[in-house]
Amino acid sequence: MVVFSEDHREETCRRGRIEVICGSMFSGKTEELIRRLRRATFAHQRVEIFKPAIDTRYSEGDVVSHDNNSIKSTPIDSSASILLFTSEIDVVGIDEAQFFDDGLPEVCNELANQGVRVIVAGLDMDFKGIPFGPMPALCAIADEVTKVHAICVKCGNLAYVSHRTVSNDKRVLLGEKEEYEPLCRCCYQKALKSEKTTSV
């Protein structure tokens, strides 16, 4: 699998396309998004970055990675707002796409059809292992999907899901290492089993 996109033709030829970067928490989605967007800026392309306004974890206005890398962004409430900010833009970046409404895939399609390179990063699954918001539809319509992996904090294998370590059943719960840990399939099953036995 090609993890990092080094295809310079695809980076610069200005053909519209949709790239999706997905994975669990701590898998490097935001780092990879920032890396691709910075390279586009170095290539003198006009870049605009969006994130859902509800994601105020590290900053109101910036997209920030767990390693504190950051890039300026525009927080928005609805996917339709993206179209209002993207005339004369070559590359659109979108972080935390899982929190957006179901209109996001259509907005990305519209931009890509107009010749814009759209790079979307988001959680593929929620803490229950269920595909999250518009992410499955985005993966389906994408020209390229990159799945990145964190390291399982229990065994060191590749993680595939974000295990919630606090008791809260709401789908949306902003958080970090106090609330979530990346686990592989095997360690996730064990964690769920031990939660069941301790709750009875």
Ligand X SMILES: Nc1ncnc2c1ncn2[C@@H]1O[C@H](COP(=O)(O)OP(=O)(O)O)[C@@H](O)[C@H]1O
Query: Residue 104 binds which one of ligand X, Zn ion, ligand LXEULUCI, none, with CB within 5 to 8 A depending on kind?
Result: none
CA–CA distance, 190 with 108 (Å, rounded to integer): 38
Answer for the pair 93, 33: CB distance below 8 angstroms, yes or no. Answer: yes
Q: Which is nearer to ligand X, 90 or 100 (CB)?
A: 100
Query: Residue 153 binds which one of ligand X, ligand LXEULUCI, Zn ion, none, with CB within 5 to 8 A depending on kind?
Result: ligand X
Residue 161 identity (one-letter amino acid): V
Minimum Å gap between C-beta 172 and ligand X is 15
Answer for the pair 27, 159: CB distance below 8 angstroms, yes or no. Answer: yes
Q: Which is nearer to ligand X, 144 or 149 (CB)?
A: 149
Q: Which is nearer to ligand LXEULUCI, 116 or 187 (CB)?
A: 187
Catalytic (active site) residue 96: yes
Site string for ligand X, 61-90 (x = CB under 6 A): ----xxx-----------------------
Which residue in this structure is represented by tokens 């996109």?
A: 5
The residues, any chain, with a CB within 8 Å of residue 164's CB and separated by 6 or more, are: 127, 173, 175, 179, 180
Burial 105-122, CB ≥16 within 10 A → b, else e: bebbbebbeeebbbbbbb
Q: Return residues touching ligand X (CB under 6 A).
A: 23, 25-31, 65-67, 150-151, 153, 182
Binding region:
23-30, 95-98, 152, 155, 184, 187
